[in-house]
Structure 1
Amino acid sequence: MDALIAKGDSIQALNKKRKRVYASQSKPGQSSKPDKSNKTSASIAKNTSLPKSLRSQTDESTNATQYKHIANAKLRRNLVKTSAHIAQSQALLSDAVDLLPSEDVGFIQTDGPLEKTWRISQTDVVRAAGGEAARARLEMKLEGGPYRIRYTKNGRHMAIAGRMGHVASFDTLTGTVHNELQLGEACKDIVYLQDQSFYAVAQEKYAFIYDRDGVEVHKLKAHVSPNRLEFLPYHWLLASVGSAGYLKYQDTSTGQLVAEHRTALGACSVLTQDPHNAVLYLGHQNGCVTLWTPNLPHPAVKVLSHLGPVASVSIDPSEGGRYMATTGKDGTVKVWDCRNWKGAVREWHLRSGGKGHAEVEWSQKGVLAVGSGGSVNVYTSPSIKTPHNAASQPPLYLTHPLPSTSHRPITSLRFAPLQDVLTIGHAHGTSSILVPGSGEGGMDTGEGLDLYEGVKGRREREVRGLLDKIQPDMITLESDIVGNLAPPSKLSFTPTTTGGSGSSRAAEIPYARLSRAERLRVSGKADITEEIPSDGESVDEISGKNGKEDKEAREKRKMRGKGKSLKRYLRKQRKNVVDPAAFAKESSMSPSVFFFFLFSALAIRAKIERQKAERKAEIRRVKYGDEPQERSAALDRFKKTSKE
């Protein structure tokens, strides 16, 4: 053991400094491999390595994209530098992920197989939780219900909107009420904008925007009778869908209406977004779920999810928007894989047994909450994401019954970001329960997830958000398209030109810069019947590897776009005249009928030529004032000479 420690240089004198040569510092001719003669050092070097984040930047730059297809040297150098920086950042992130604990923490652990977590009540959870976490367990009895709930991105501020017109916004950390309004009309939904300074309310006729003090700032007349609202933070877009069935996008930074799509599926009251690619999911009365983007007038994806109306839709934020959960009024809950829409991954019936309204919501750690009837059931992964053929209930994690039947129906479920709190909106107010393990513990301040953000930090984040705002045209199903360069075109042509000195050079020309004839040749649409073969090259070699095309196919491709009835008739007659042997072999008509069709074709051609000549003469007469001159006999050309 002492020899092993000595060979690893774990203990050495303080005044002794040894020069070490790493792989990144070795010379080109010098080998960086360990000495195989020393077995101890060889075993240490084989099983240990320097983390990627601690290596030199030159090693990481080898993995970066070189962009050799870009001709501009300055642009290519900047892109390579940016790519190397991205590679270094990814190495740092991978090292951080490896060092952080990967196992699931924060969930309730049972002592044995006979003990079930769903038997634990909220009283036991609050008793076992700390003093600060226990404060999140809260019951608010209000009279303006049923209520819709919405949190800010960092989870510190919460806004509620009651069906009877009661709207309020407050700080959940300190309990400070920002504002409280009685609007006097039905409020169907509420959503925060870029931060807690502004929020939008879907009222009876239009959508309104209020500031932190409750002052009406804007009246959005384009959003008529909205039922649901969503805000896209990276695009600064406020989306709404209402009773008319129109999905509308409003840019809150410029105030203009970006897009307006007609769903043609009737009134819609289900709207949610994928936080990773900003695609909106709509649930309709015919059981379909449609995916929408601002740049497409039709749904990008349309899925028949339920046999009845869709009640709620939610997207899992823990795995990049990979899974979707839906509930329908037919009493079923389904979990879908968004990479494959062939069928539901898991399906089960509601425990309440009813076929009424049901709400579903995912947490940041992939915990699924389903509220129906008078209770809320919570499920955890991977049981709800594992494919299962039978429509059986997945194992429960927690359950929470509402105090009384007067709290029904459950109209909203929201997990608080960065906290293990689930807030339930019902007819008599809101109820906040503790769900251990549902919230993300890490706080990313760069994404606006700072619970203790001040006024200065909020202003700087708002300015950065405006500068980095993504255009609506960038919203696609592929979330990796943002921030990447377009790859070089694969449709390139490499012509070989020979100079006067006899030297040959090959240059790749993009497909868009080719001439029309070359583009047709590359794409395989060129007319090979009109090409002149070179020496040693036959027509069959031009047509392809097989090189065998019948004469009918070549003639048909040659006459493409010339399918008028008259020309088709003339083409048929021309075929009989040009190839009399084929006519005598294949045709069964008599010679008199043949000559009748032949003279008919010749008469039609003569008529067409005469009409063309008359048309040209009329054009010249109108344009230049020329009088039509009739041609005389051949001796008329000597009249001028005889007069002279």
Structure 2
Amino acid sequence: MEVLYMETYGIAGRTGHVASFDTLTGAVHSELQLGETCRDVVFLQDHSFYAVAQQKYAFIYDRDGVEIHKLKAHISPSRLEFLPYHWLLASVGSAGYLKYQDTSTGQLVAEHRTALGACSVLTQNPHNAVLYLGHQNGCVTLWTPNLPHPAVKVLAHLGPVSSVSVDPSEGGRYMATSGKDGSVKVWDCRNWKGAVREWNLRSGGKGDAEVEWSQKGVLAVGSGGSVNMYTSPSIKTPHTSSSQPPLYLTHPLPSTSHRPITSLRFAPFQDVLTIGHAQGTSSILVPGAGDGGMDTSEGLDLYEGVKGRREREVRGLLDKIQPDMIALDSEFVGSLAPPSKLTTDTTGGSGSSRATEIPFSRLPRAERLRVSGKADLTEEVYSDAESLEGDENGNGGPKGRRTGKSARKGRCAGRGRVAIRAKLEKQKAERKAEIRKVKYGDKPRGEERSIGSVQEDIE
């Protein structure tokens, strides 16, 4: 029996029984007999809609139990989570795919292949919206929509992970895990250098254990036929031994017919813990578990009307956070980006004064030499002087001048062509002089022409 709390109370059973109740009055809002296995249930932006992980697909129902949507992209889901500030419905199933779907637009935002087999453990960190998955090989992975691989991967247990929960009382710093190896571990999410506290289950490690944090940091561990509660600082103080921390409260189940324990949920802003077991649900009192300060700006107004709910939905859509902003460090939003050492400012193309940053490795060799201070500036000055001379003589053109090695090659080639041309002109003049000497002798060319003209006249 899966249990979910919001302003209303929802349950989903293995036999297909789904129901939602009012936490204050106990009135039944909806009750469904689906006739197939229901693995999980989660409310969406408010108690008006909830999603159910059924045998083949995930379905969305309204407050009256009417089917609204059939999510065919979520195949055989085993766990569901809703991110209220991002309006994202996340699911993971037997295929091992983690999927994010935007409930405001209906688009599938991201789909990640975990590559770790079937997964039946999913929870979220309410402070940064990072999803925590527990796998069959004992690993716990942390996922965000903008990364195709897990942001963090930790080997938590020697056997399959049965439950994961994040402490909401201290900014999501601590995580509790339980495995089928019969151990419970508390982790510090800031360094991941190992478990802060570790102990074995009082039931001897038989069956799966469920862990759940309350708003005030009370850790509930349900295994076998009892539910044990622990408080800080005993469970958050580092210990080298695997001795059990002192108990704050324990509650045994009335009979063996109620076993096994399938889920644990603390009621928000109340000192109530609801236990899901084989015979249904049971509620017990846990003093000091709930936070007494209710923030009505977060949609927790018990006297909210229809108009107020509509306005809150509109404000929530306007303030919706994009999935790309989900990260382990939630404080990076609004901070200044550090200056990069691998980029340099260069101006744009012709006629553009806008500065753009280009990575140093992608710059041309001349630019890299100039940035590093190793460029030979004398070549540029010499090439500028030559270009000015060319413009004065009328040889300049619209084409850009060449600099560096290519310019030196051009100057050498130009000098060689001039020398060869002068040599050819000199040889041509010498041949003409020899021909004239053989034909006319040593007399001047003008006199020979006059004698020739006289002879022509005589003839």
Both proteins in one fold, TM over 0.5: yes
Deviation at 1:413, TM superposition (A): 0.5
Partner of 2:339: 489
Select which of 102, 115, 124 maps to 1:264. Answer: 115
Deviation at 1:194, TM superposition (A): 0.3
Select which of 44, 68, 81 maps to 1:193. Answer: 44
Select which of 206, 214, 219 maps to 2:65. Answer: 214
Partner of 1:180: 31
1:160 matched to 2:11: yes
Secondary structure of the residue that 2:86 maps to in structure 1?
coil
Instruction: Summarize deviations over 1:193-215 as a string: whole Å, max 9, x none.
Output: 00000000000000000000000
Instruction: Summarize deviations over 1:389-416 as a string: whole Å, max 9, x none.
Output: 0000001000000010111111110011
**Pairs within 5 Å for 1:34-183:** 147-152=1-6, 156-183=7-34
Deviation at 1:519, TM superposition (A): 7.0
RMSD value, Cα:
2.4
Partner of 1:349: 200
User: Are the equivalent residues in 2 in contact too, given 1:348–1:393 (CA < 8 A)?
Assistant: yes
TM-score, length of structure 2 as denominator length: 0.77
Give the number of the structure whose residues are more often helix, by fraction. 1
One-letter code aligned to 1:532: D
Select which of 150, 154, 169 maps to 1:299. Answer: 150
Secondary structure of the residue that 2:269 maps to in structure 1?
coil
1:202 matched to 2:53: yes
User: Are the equivalent residues in 2 in contact too, given 1:511–1:519 (CA < 8 A)?
Assistant: no
One-letter code aligned to 1:477: L
User: Are the equivalent residues in 1 in contact too, given 2:345–2:358 (CA < 8 A)?
Assistant: no
> Hey, what's the Cα distance between the residues in 1 that align with 2:31 and 2:171?
36
Deviation at 1:445, TM superposition (A): 1.0
One-letter code aligned to 1:271: L
Instruction: Summarize deviations over 1:183-236 as a string: whole Å, max 9, x none.
Output: 000000000000000000000000000000000000000100000000000000
Partner of 2:222: 371
> Hey, what's the Cα distance between the residues in 1 that align with 2:172 and 2:158?
24
> Hey, what's the Cα distance between the residues in 1 that align with 2:280 and 2:102?
32
Instruction: Summarize deviations over 1:43-98 as a string: whole Å, max 9, x none.
Output: xxxxxxxxxxxxxxxxxxxxxxxxxxxxxxxxxxxxxxxxxxxxxxxxxxxxxxxx
Instruction: Summarize deviations over 1:491-514 as a string: whole Å, max 9, x none.
Output: 48799xxxxxxxxxxxxx774499
One-letter code aligned to 2:129: A
Secondary structure of the residue that 1:223 maps to in structure 2?
coil
> Relative to 1, partners in 2 of residues 1:510 and 1:358: Cα closer, same or farther, differing over 3 Å?
same
Q: Which runs of 5+ in 2 are unaligned?
A: 347-354, 380-423, 429-459
Partner of 1:361: 212
Partner of 1:239: 90
Instruction: Summarize deviations over 1:95-147 as a string: whole Å, max 9, x none.
Output: xxxxxxxxxxxxxxxxxxxxxxxxxxxxxxxxxxxxxxxxxxxxxxxxxxxx1
User: Are the equivalent residues in 1 in contact too, given 2:59–2:68 (CA < 8 A)?
Assistant: yes
Q: Which runs of 5+ in 1 are unaligned?
A: 1-146, 496-508, 536-633, 639-644
Instruction: Summarize deviations over 1:295-352 as a string: whole Å, max 9, x none.
Output: 1111111000000000000000011110000000000000000011110000000011
> Relative to 1, partners in 2 of residues 1:520 and 1:362: Cα closer, same or farther, differing over 3 Å?
farther
Partner of 2:129: 278
Select which of 518, 528, 532 maps to 2:376. Answer: 532
Secondary structure of the residue that 1:181 maps to in structure 2?
strand
Partner of 1:249: 100
Secondary structure of the residue that 1:340 maps to in structure 2?
coil
User: Are the equivalent residues in 2 in contact too, given 1:277–1:478 (CA < 8 A)?
Assistant: yes
Partner of 2:138: 287
Give the number of the structure whose residues are more often strand, by fraction. 2
User: Are the equivalent residues in 2 in contact too, given 1:363–1:439 (CA < 8 A)?
Assistant: yes
User: Are the equivalent residues in 2 in contact too, given 1:279–1:293 (CA < 8 A)?
Assistant: yes
> Relative to 1, partners in 2 of residues 1:192 and 1:522: Cα closer, same or farther, differing over 3 Å?
farther
Deviation at 1:488, TM superposition (A): 6.1
1:442 matched to 2:289: no
Select which of 176, 181, 184 maps to 1:325. Answer: 176
Secondary structure of the residue that 2:313 maps to in structure 1?
helix
> Relative to 1, partners in 2 of residues 1:158 and 1:522: Cα closer, same or farther, differing over 3 Å?
farther
Secondary structure of the residue that 1:347 maps to in structure 2?
strand
Secondary structure of the residue that 2:199 maps to in structure 1?
strand
User: Are the equivalent residues in 1 in contact too, given 2:344–2:358 (CA < 8 A)?
Assistant: no
1:334 matched to 2:185: yes
Secondary structure of the residue that 1:431 maps to in structure 2?
strand
**Pairs within 5 Å for 1:397-416:** 397-416=248-267
> Hey, what's the Cα distance between the residues in 1 that align with 2:35 and 2:332?
45
> Hey, what's the Cα distance between the residues in 2 that align with 1:512 and 1:494?
7
User: Are the equivalent residues in 1 in contact too, given 2:183–2:205 (CA < 8 A)?
Assistant: no
User: Are the equivalent residues in 2 in contact too, given 1:245–1:264 (CA < 8 A)?
Assistant: yes
1:516 matched to 2:363: yes
> Hey, what's the Cα distance between the residues in 1 that align with 2:81 and 2:370?
47
User: Are the equivalent residues in 2 in contact too, given 1:330–1:356 (CA < 8 A)?
Assistant: no
User: Are the equivalent residues in 2 in contact too, given 1:208–1:217 (CA < 8 A)?
Assistant: yes
> Relative to 1, partners in 2 of residues 1:462 and 1:533: Cα closer, same or farther, differing over 3 Å?
same
Secondary structure of the residue that 2:193 maps to in structure 1?
strand
> Relative to 1, partners in 2 of residues 1:513 and 1:332: Cα closer, same or farther, differing over 3 Å?
closer
Deviation at 1:448, TM superposition (A): 1.6
Instruction: Summarize deviations over 1:546-589 as a string: whole Å, max 9, x none.
Output: xxxxxxxxxxxxxxxxxxxxxxxxxxxxxxxxxxxxxxxxxxxx
> Hey, what's the Cα distance between the residues in 2 that align with 1:522 and 1:177?
76
Deviation at 1:454, TM superposition (A): 2.3
> Relative to 1, partners in 2 of residues 1:519 and 1:367: Cα closer, same or farther, differing over 3 Å?
farther
> Relative to 1, partners in 2 of residues 1:333 and 1:521: Cα closer, same or farther, differing over 3 Å?
farther
> Relative to 1, partners in 2 of residues 1:393 and 1:512: Cα closer, same or farther, differing over 3 Å?
same
Q: Kindly name which structure, 1 or 2, has the bigger radius of gyration based on alpha carbons.
A: 2
One-letter code aligned to 1:395: P
1:426 matched to 2:280: no
> Relative to 1, partners in 2 of residues 1:217 and 1:494: Cα closer, same or farther, differing over 3 Å?
closer
> Hey, what's the Cα distance between the residues in 2 that align with 1:186 and 1:275?
28
User: Are the equivalent residues in 2 in contact too, given 1:416–1:439 (CA < 8 A)?
Assistant: yes
> Hey, what's the Cα distance between the residues in 2 that align with 1:416 and 1:173?
11
Deviation at 1:534, TM superposition (A): 7.2
TM-score, length of structure 1 as denominator length: 0.55
> Hey, what's the Cα distance between the residues in 1 that align with 2:206 and 2:103?
38
> Relative to 1, partners in 2 of residues 1:410 and 1:489: Cα closer, same or farther, differing over 3 Å?
same
* Number of residue equivalences: 371
> Hey, what's the Cα distance between the residues in 1 that align with 2:101 and 2:370?
44
Structure 1 outlier segments of 4+, above 4 Å: 490-495, 509-515, 521-524
Secondary structure of the residue that 2:72 maps to in structure 1?
strand
Deviation at 1:480, TM superposition (A): 1.1
User: Are the equivalent residues in 1 in contact too, given 2:345–2:357 (CA < 8 A)?
Assistant: no
